[in-house]
Structures are given as C-alpha cells and as structure tokens.
Amino acid sequence: MTGFDRLIDALTLQAGYNSALVAIGAALLGLAGGGAGAFVFLRKRALVSDAISHATLPGVALAFIVMAVLGGTGRWLPGLLAGSAITAAIGLLIVEWMARRTRLSEDAAIGAVLSVFFGLGVVLLTVIQTMTSGQQAGLGSFLLGSTAGMLISEAYVIAIAGAIAAGLVFLMRRPMTLVAFDPEFATTTGVDVRRTDIAILVLALIVTVIGLKIVGLILIVALLIIPPVAARFWTDRVASLILIAAGMGAVSGYVGAAISSAFAGVPTGPVIVLIAFVLFLVSLLASPLRGALAAALRQWRFRRLVHQRQGLLALARGEAIYDRLTLSTLRRAGYMRRDGVATLAGRSAAAKALKDEARWAEAMRGEADGPVVADYDGLTPIEDVLTPDQIADLDRRLARLEVAT
C-alpha cells in the first residue's frame, strides 16, 4: 500500500478503529480550540494561553510522581491531565495577579510564568528519570504530542473531553461574544466581564489539557491562535468568526492526525500546526474581504481609476500626457489610439469627465447637497452619488453661470 492509499484510508476513517478515534478526537480538539481561541483572540490575549500551556508541565510531572509513589503506573492519563490542569490554573491565576497587582505588564507576567513553570517542570522530569518505579518512558511525549502507541482508553478520554469542550464553547457563546465585542455594553446588560474573561481562559485551559497528548504542550497554543487569526480574514462578524475558526481547527486536527497515522515517523502535533498554518496562509492571501491579494487588487484598480480620470481630464483640456500608466490605462479602455490620439469614445468620455468636474465644483460651491458632497472622492461617477433631479439642477445652475459670464 502506498503512502497515498494509507492517507486516503486514514482520511476516510478506514485505517483501523484506533486511528479513527484519534482523528475524531483531534477534530473535536481542533473544533474546541478554534472556538475557544476565537474569544481569546478577540480579547487580544492570545499569548496568555501560551503561559497556560507551558504551566501544565510541572502538573504532569507532579501527578506522575504522586501516582508512582502511591504505587500506580504513573501514566494513567486522566490523572496526568488533572495534574496538568491544576498547575495550569495556578499559572493562569499568577499571570492575572501579576498583571493586576504589580506594575509589570501582562506580557512580562506571561513570559515569567511560562518560563519558570516550564523550568520547574523540566527539573521534575529529571527527578522522574531517576525514579525506578512508575514506567516513566513516554512522559516526554507530552512536550510534542504523540498518537503512536496511544491506548484506546486514552483516545476515548480525548474524544469525550474534546466533545465536552466544544459543547462548553457552544453553551457559553452568548456572554463571551458580548464581552469580546463590547465589554462596556456587556457590563450594562449584567454580564460580569472579569468572570467571563476567566471563563474564556478556562476554556483555553481545558483545550490545552486535552490537547497535551495529541499536540503537546509547546504547540497546543497554535490550535488556539492560528485558526481564529485565519478566520478573521474571512469575516467581520463575531458569530461567523467563531464558526469559521472552529471549522478550521477541526479540519487541521482531523487532517493532521490522518497524515500522522498514515506516515510513520511524522509527529502529530507539528503536522496539525502546519496544516493550520496552510489554512492561515490561504486566508491571508486569498480572502476576498481582508486578504493580501484582494487588497493589492483593490489598490491596483484604484490607481487605474485615478489615472484614467486624470487622463480624461487632460484629454478634455487638450493637455499633453506623459505618464506611462495613464497612457496605457487610456489605451486599454479604448479611449486613445496607439499613436496618442483620442478615440471618439475617448473624446466623449473626456467631455463627460470635464462636465462632471464642473458639476462637482458647483455642487460644492453651493453646498446645497451637504454631506453627500463631503463624500466626494473624485472617482465615483456623479450619477452614483446624486439623484437625476439634483444633477439636472446643477446643470441649470451651471447654464445660468455661463450666461452670466
């Protein structure tokens, strides 16, 4: 079987019960991560989740030590996840406390918590390495995630927890949307902004904890950051932002897990992150709303429009045109022949441009049309801004002026 066949099998959930469960779990994880991350992103606290995720390491290690000392295997996943949740919560509270109660800013608090907790975790990991009991092998997989050799019970834990997290995002979407969109208004409607903020980060924490096994603690933050940032390119509405981010997260998780199960030696976490990044890149470039290509295209069209208008005015006034872009714009529009002489269409368009210019000048002089005139950018056709009656009126005023002079 080729790698491609295996990939198709994995993508269609035909590659065995275990990897199907992992793929579904990763998809649910991505769904919850994208959804929760959207709120974190809107509150501009994307990197707080980085502190949370690094703060899980001492918890994992402590839980392992406790379980091993108590005589267990030390690798029981729910126990490890509970431990990681505790230290992650402590880390989160310390970030909040430092940013509120000391003069240090939030980014310093984030950096301090993530490096110190991670350092402590590494110290504890080296303690574990010297322990003889508890089957310590494989604990390092929490750093970068690993689905190879995952127990079916572990896959269940992740799939169920992922579903619960996705459900929580759905349940809490209303207050969180309010706070993310307009915290002052949320306060007036009786929503506790601080509590909701903490709820958002607790959701991020839940996603982090259940993502430890699949994506690993260094990269899990990507599932909370990249999908919402990518989704932001496609929409200006909060509700659709959350849906798109959740969708992108789910796709990243699912496809990433499938690729990782189809090819030996391809680690799950990094692949999921890179798939998410590809989605981000496509959004950055191709989104019609805020994408780079669309923006470049708009800019290019705008330049053409400006050059065309200036060119037509120059034609109408019989001025020579030297600018190359202006010349090529006029030729392309069929307003000018290759030898630089205006075509019939060019002459009539030029006359129209000059007339419109006079109309605009009159409209602004009269100030009769107030705010509409204030919107004048020199490029929108006058017919799109003013009514036929207003234009006719302008023309009458212009005619009177001409008679008067």
Partner 1 sequence: MMGAEFVQLSLTPMLIGILASIACALPGNFLLLRRQALIGDAISHVVLPGIVVAFLVTGTVTAWPMMIGAAAAAIVAVLLIEAIRRLGRIESGAAMGVVFTTLFAAGVLLLEQSDTSSVHLDVEHALYGNLESLIWFDATGWSSLFDAEALAGLPPQLARMAIVAVGLALFVLVLWKELAISTFDGVFAHSIGIRTRAVGFALVVATAIAAVAAFDAVGSIIVIAMFICPPAAARLMTDSLARQVWWSVGFATVSAILGYVLAGYGPGWFGLPHSVSAAGMIATVSGIILAVACLAAPRRHRSGQAAETV
Residues 6+ apart with CB under 8 A from 142: 56, 57, 60, 80, 84, 212, 213, 216, 217
Q: Which is nearer to partner 1, 117 or 254 (CB)?
A: 117
Minimum distance of partner 1 from residue 245's CB (angstroms): 12
User: Nearest to residue 79, comparing CAs of 93, 66, 95?
Assistant: 66
Distances (CA, A) of 367 to 332, 355, 373, 395: 36, 18, 8, 15
Phi/psi of residue 103, each to 5°? -80, 0
Minimum distance of partner 1 from residue 266's CB (angstroms): 7
Q: Which is nearer to partner 1, 144 or 398 (CB)?
A: 144
Minimum distance of partner 1 from residue 145's CB (angstroms): 10
Phi/psi of residue 27, each to 5°? -65, -45
Round to whole Å and give the CA distance between 351 and 354. Answer: 5
Minimum distance of partner 1 from residue 98's CB (angstroms): 6
Minimum distance of partner 1 from residue 277's CB (angstroms): 4
Minimum distance of partner 1 from residue 103's CB (angstroms): 4
Sequence length of the chain is 405
Question: If DSSP codes are grouped into helix, strand and coil, which group holds residue 339?
Answer: coil
Q: Which is nearer to partner 1, 217 or 349 (CB)?
A: 217
Q: Which is nearer to partner 1, 168 or 219 (CB)?
A: 219
Minimum distance of partner 1 from residue 42's CB (angstroms): 10
Round to whole Å and give the CA distance between 246 and 236. Answer: 16
Q: Which is nearer to partner 1, 108 or 321 (CB)?
A: 108
User: Nearest to residue 35, comparing CAs of 235, 216, 242, 319?
Assistant: 242
Residues 6+ apart with CB under 8 A from 244: 227, 230, 231, 234, 235
Round to whole Å and give the CA distance between 165 and 27. Answer: 12
Round to whole Å and give the CA distance between 34 and 225. Answer: 8
Pull the structure tokens for residue 72: 């267990």
Answer for the pair 43, 195: CB distance below 8 angstroms, yes or no: no
Q: Which is nearer to partner 1, 137 or 320 (CB)?
A: 137
Q: Which is nearer to partner 1, 25 or 270 (CB)?
A: 270
Minimum distance of partner 1 from residue 58's CB (angstroms): 9
Q: H helices of 172-219, where?
A: 173-181, 183-188, 193-211
Q: Which is nearer to partner 1, 101 or 338 (CB)?
A: 101
Round to whole Å and give the CA distance between 99 and 123. Answer: 26
Q: Which is nearer to partner 1, 20 or 143 (CB)?
A: 143
Residues at the contact surface with partner 1, assessed by CB under 8 A: 41, 44-47, 50, 98, 101-105, 107-108, 110-112, 114-123, 125-127, 129-130, 140, 143-144, 218-219, 221-222, 225-226, 228-229, 232-233, 265-267, 269-271, 273-274, 277, 280, 284, 290, 292, 295
Minimum distance of partner 1 from residue 285's CB (angstroms): 9
